[in-house]
Amino acid sequence: MTVDVMMFISNAFWNGFAKYLIQVLFLVSLVKTLEPYGHEFWPSELPSAVQVMLFILIKDFFRYWLHRALHENAFLWRFHATHHSVKRLYWLNGIRSHPVEVIVQAILFAAPFALLQPSAEIVMVAVFMQLSIGLFQHSNIDLTPEFWEYLFSIGDNHRYHHYPDKKIGDCNYGGEFIVWDILFGTFHKVKGERPSDNIGIGGSPHYPMTLTGLLIAPFLKNQRFDESVSPDRD
Ligand SMILES: [Zn+2]
Ligand SMILES: [Zn+2]
């Protein structure tokens, strides 16, 4: 748990760094150019609850494609492996991400966030909802929220996503909603089956577990990232 608390603090720092990087990359001027259009297009006349859902759904569309690329591209997978290094899911380790992923995501979100521009209240409620779903997604409670698993990326959906075998684990990429997976054919759920508790990185059963180890692992040549070997249970 200590490493996840440290990861949380470290990621807050890298998020701040990403904002600085966005300025350096002149994305701020792009954001400023896009801003007025956002106010024009955002459907602020819709009920607040619909606006919150819409905001999360659009944000999740970008998260879906980034997450999918992080799995399907061998180089990007090296960095996303940090998230998959966990050997059991519990509420806090959903935030375990490599700083490179945190920075790439912040840059990718800069333009759509500038375009969306809903009111601060809508963003606040949406962020709160995202955090709640995120905690629920990694929580170590044995729930089978059947119906909700066809709407949200929670429960068994995310356990399948953490499978050590990438043939199964490359699925259910949704950050909050699972609808993009259903639409783009990456949804995995077997009716009547419960996923195994055996999770992790198949090719690297002894992936580093310290903060420093997690930060440098993607750059190590001898680190295996393929998923052909079942992990040890330790
Ligand atoms: Zn993943
Ligand atoms: Zn996860």
Which ligand lies nearest the alpha carbon of 81? 1
Is 229 a domain residue? no
pLDDT for 232 equals 43
Whether 187 is covered by a domain: the verdict is yes
Structurally, the chain folds into a number of domains equal to 1
Nearest residue to 61 (alpha-carbon basis) of 111, 12, 26, 11: 111
How many Å lie between the centroid of ligand 2 and the Cα of residue 79? 14
Alpha-carbon gap, residue 168 to 80, rounded angstroms: 16
Q: Is residue 232 part of a domain?
A: no
Residue 183 lies in a domain: yes
| Nearest ligand, CA 89 | 2
- For residue 228, tell me if it sits in a domain: no
pLDDT value at residue 222:
66
Q: Is residue 234 part of a domain?
A: no
Domain for residue 18, yes or no? yes
**152: which strand partners?**
177
Cβ-contact 120, 62 below 8 angstroms: no
Ligand sitting nearest the alpha carbon of 94:
2
Output the CA 7–ligand 2 centroid distance in Å: 14
Q: Ligand 2 centroid vs 158 CA: distance in angstroms?
A: 6
CA of 175 to the centre of ligand 1 (A): 9
The pLDDT of 187-207, averaged and rounded, is 84
The answer to whether residue 224 is domain-embedded is no
Residue 27: what pLDDT? 65
Give yes or no for a contact between 218 and 79, defined as CB atoms under 8 angstroms apart.
yes
Distance 93 CA to ligand 2 centre (A): 8
> Higher confidence at residue 229 or residue 21?
21
HSE, side-chain direction, 13 A CA sphere, residue 97: 18
Q: Residue 34 is part of which domain span?
A: 2-219
Residue-wise pLDDT tens digits, 58-102: 999 999 999 999 999 989 999 999 999 888 887 777 888 999 999
What pTM does this model have?
A: 0.84
Q: How far is the CA of 66 from the centre of ligand 1 (A)?
A: 10
